[in-house]
């Protein structure tokens, strides 16, 4: 089969890993009962893990055996790093060089700015990911062992699983209530939040931050991408934390029953989660409708580009804001932080955002048509799936099989990105050979 676009190879890679994961989860050894799991639950779990989402139709700690949990963990790691990133690493180890086609595929997955950057980006991604996961796993293992009396082996296992899940923004937990039991424990919450932020900022941003420690990088200007990502990510983090804390402050089912410092900790934790992590230390079903709507917006925006987070990405959101600001001011071109924004980037941002809105609306309408759940719950579910977040009001397992396939489609599209998926399905590029006469329709 001839691949006409590297995006096709990315889609095919994710699909292949999902298929393998589904078959492994269907094995009798993967469940605690020793019985084979049905196709739909196994497929849904595999898609959720590969797409680093965290939505589940069966309870992870009670349904899956140690083997099954290991499969889920492996799928999370592969999905977080990216199938093409792992393929690039294997090519470097075996051939010591990258072929042009594999470089293009890796570029499509890692969003590297040039082919010459792919080798450096891939190596940095692997080293950074493993380093963060190891450090977070050690911190969590120490807390599980010393603070909760877990045996050495169990503490290490819990630490590794939750570290990998957090860094990859997956949201899978080995507790039936996610992290509600640790809502007031800063030694669990802060490492989890740190891993989520590092994974959600995006590999290019974190790598640039690390490079700033080197002498040769001192004094160089920050890249526009890094400045936009850090400013927007930080701003949305503050907005989410304040909104959740203020709205839920007096809700007896959430923050209202906690002490002051615990309210602040839980509010911060749930301000971080919409970055597409999916863990919860509060019962999401008990959140106020206003909080759910705020979370919908934050989950749809997501995290940084080329990272483990989903959504349309904070850079897309910020660039659209700059485009609107320039249009309101009547400026012919868009300028961002002393740089001019190319028209192609503006069109890409608009395309990603509108395709995201259309995808979420289509999924929401489909679920509303086939279920009797409220709009708040259904919209939250579809945005969570598209943004690869994994938080739920508890309706995932109650959906009909057709509804679960809708969520699987949303997770797959959300992980790969609307533009990547669309380009993968395109047979070939069609450059315009001529321009037609210009005419301006009335807008508004």
- Per-residue pLDDT, 102: 53
137 contacts: CB under 8 Å, gap ≥ 6:
156, 159, 160, 162, 163, 164
3-state secondary structure 364-410: HHHHHHHCCCCHHHHHHHHHHHHCCCCCCCCCHHHCCHHHHHHHHHH
Is residue 431 domain-resident? no
pLDDT tens digits along 251-275: 999 999 999 999 999 999 999 999 8
Domain that holds residue 258: 6-425
- Residue with more model confidence, 387 or 81: 387
In 3-state terms the chain splits into helix, strand, coil percentages (rounded to 5) of 70, 0, 30
Which parts of 64-185 fold into alpha helices (H)? 66-81, 83-95, 100-110, 115-148, 152-167
> 326 in a domain, yes or no?
yes
Residue 444 belongs to a domain = no
Instruction: Let me know if residue 437 belongs to a domain.
Output: no
Alpha-carbon distance 198 to 173, whole Å? Answer: 19
Cα–Cα dist 124/128, whole Å: 6
**Domain membership flag for residue 163:** yes
**Site of tokens 């605690």:** 32
Overall number of domains in the chain:
1
| Residue 38 pLDDT exceeds 60 | yes
Say what percent of the chain tops pLDDT 70.
85
Is 439 within a domain? no
CB count, 10 Å around CB of 311?
27
Domain contains 434: no
pLDDT of residue 306: 76
The residue-averaged pLDDT of 359-386 equals 96
Q: What is the rounded distance in angstroms from the CA atom of residue 286 to the CA atom of residue 257? A: 13
- Examine residue 185 and state whether it is found in any structural domain, yes or no: yes
How far is Cα 371 from Cα 391, in angstroms, rounded to an integer? 19
How much is the pTM?
0.90
CA 159 to CA 167: how far, in whole Å? 12
d(C-alpha 147, C-alpha 140), whole Å: 10
């Amino acid at each position: 089969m001839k691949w006409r676009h590297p995006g096709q190879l990315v889609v095919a890679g994710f699909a292949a890993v999902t298929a393998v994961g589904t078959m492994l989860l269907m094995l009798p050894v993967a469940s605690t009962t020793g019985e084979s799991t049905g196709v739909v639950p196994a497929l849904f779990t595999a898609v959720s893990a590969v797409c680093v989402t965290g939505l589940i139709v069966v309870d992870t700690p009670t349904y899956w055996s140690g083997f099954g949990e290991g499969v889920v963990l492996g799928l999370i790691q592969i999905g977080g790093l990216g199938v093409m990133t792992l393929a690039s690493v294997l090519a470097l180890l075996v051939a010591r060089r990258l072929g042009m086609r594999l470089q293009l595929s890796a570029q499509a997955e890692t969003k590297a700015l040039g082919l010459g950057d792919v080798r450096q980006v891939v190596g940095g991604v692997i080293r950074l990911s493993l380093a963060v996961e190891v450090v977070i796993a050690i911190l969590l293992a120490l807390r599980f062992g010393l603070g909760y009396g877990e045996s050495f082996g169990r503490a290490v296992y819990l630490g590794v699983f939750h570290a990998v899940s957090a860094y990859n923004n997956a949201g899978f937990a080995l507790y039936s209530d996610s992290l509600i039991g640790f809502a007031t424990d800063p030694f669990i919450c802060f490492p989890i939040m740190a891993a989520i932020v590092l994974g959600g900022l995006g590999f290019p941003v974190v790598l640039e931050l690390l490079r700033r420690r080197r002498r040769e990088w001192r004094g160089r200007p920050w890249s526009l991408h890094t400045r936009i990502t850090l400013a927007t990510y930080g701003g949305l983090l503050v907005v989410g934390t304040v909104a959740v804390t203020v709205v839920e402050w007096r809700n007896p089912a959430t923050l209202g029953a906690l002490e002051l410092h615990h309210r602040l900790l839980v509010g911060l934790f749930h301000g971080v989660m919409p970055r597409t992590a999916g863990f919860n230390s509060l019962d999401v079903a008990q959140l106020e409708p206003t909080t759910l709507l705020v979370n919908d917006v934050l989950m749809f925006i997501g995290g940084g580009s080329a990272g483990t987070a989903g959504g349309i990405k904070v850079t897309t959101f910020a660039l659209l804001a700059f485009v609107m600001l320039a249009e309101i001011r009547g400026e012919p071109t868009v300028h961002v932080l002393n740089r001019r924004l190319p028209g192609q980037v503006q069109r890409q941002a608009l395309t990603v955002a509108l395709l995201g809105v259309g995808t979420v609306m289509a999924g929401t309408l489909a679920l509303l048509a086939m279920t009797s759940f409220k709009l708040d719950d259904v919209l939250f579910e579809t945005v969570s799936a598209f943004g690869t977040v994994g938080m739920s009001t508890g309706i995932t397992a109650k959906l009909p099989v057709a509804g679960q396939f809708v969520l699987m489609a949303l997770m797959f599209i959300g992980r790969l990105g609307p533009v990547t998926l669309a380009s993968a399905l395109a047979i070939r590029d069609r450059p315009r050979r001529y321009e037609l006469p210009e005419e301006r329709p009335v807008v508004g």
